[in-house]
Amino acid sequence: RMYIDPSNYGDPMEALMSVAKEINKDDLKLEIVIGGGEFADVYRGVLTNEDKTQEKVAVKILKPGSSHKNREDFCVEASIMGQFDHPNVIALKGVITRTRPMMIITEFLENGSLENFLKSNDGRLTTLQLVGIGRGVAAGMAYLSEMNFIHRDLAARNILVSDNLAAKVSDFGLSRELDDSPENEQSEYQTQGGKIPVRWTAPEAIRYRKFSSASDVWSYGILLWEIMSFGERPYWTWDNFQVMDRVEGGYRLPAPM
């Protein structure tokens, strides 16, 4: 089965309904805010399933006053996620689109983002555990690559970790476009959720917009460095221009201590 770009559908809602289950809002109970961004907040919640079992879920809620484009992007993100079925890729449980606000419901992972998990467990995880996390991400990314899906934004902040240290690829973020403005000099590329630094991005993806499974592999290499350094920032305090210049000149990150 191959990944189908939601833009192939005329209507983002049609793309969404082809892959996602509509959930009754009465079956969902919101608990606490666990994150958020410019256009959406993320809550921990409890979903009551059809068989009356309950499970913890993460609920992304589109903020009131969001634009038509924000709503379309919200649908696109869910319709990307809804196509995947792999133990190392975040699972979409369903959506709420028939009432407002719109919501995306996914499985909930207790340890949150890999970046924060690594920083808060600095020195406390064994090499075997760290390698296991890296292996899980590799399995998820191999699956996405086989489906012809290019992630473009692989980094520790976009991996989620369960209570048994299963790593799951997440954030199939919104449309990504390179910022071409002269003052930017292509130092970073633009997403709806903000600007993504070049530290994780392959040189050819920055310079020529050539995103591919190969550029995802580059990002995976940087992610492995993050894992083995317990969430240290790649290239430390260098700015984006220094990173680009030195990487293109042949510099590579040293092995973590």
Q: 153, 163, 216, 245: which is the annotated catalytic residue? A: 153
- What one-letter code names the amino acid at 130? L
Give the annotated binding-site residues for ATP. 60
DSSP label at residue 209:
-
Q: Residue 75: CA atoms inside 13 Å, Cβ hemisphere, count?
A: 22
**For residues 115 and 156, what is the distance between their CA atoms, to the nearest angstrom?**
5
Residue 193 sits at the vertex; the CA angle it makes with 133 and 113, to the nearest 5 degrees, is: 20
Residue 12 is inside which H or E element, if any?
helix 12-19
List phi, psi (to 5°) of 121: -120, 30
Give the annotated binding-site residues. 60
Sign of the alpha-carbon torsion through 87, 90, 91, 93: positive
Residues of 129-143 as b/e, b for ≥16 C-beta within 10 angstroms?
A: ebeebbebbbbbbeb
Query: Is residue 153 annotated as a catalytic residue, yes or no?
Result: yes
Active-site positions read: 153
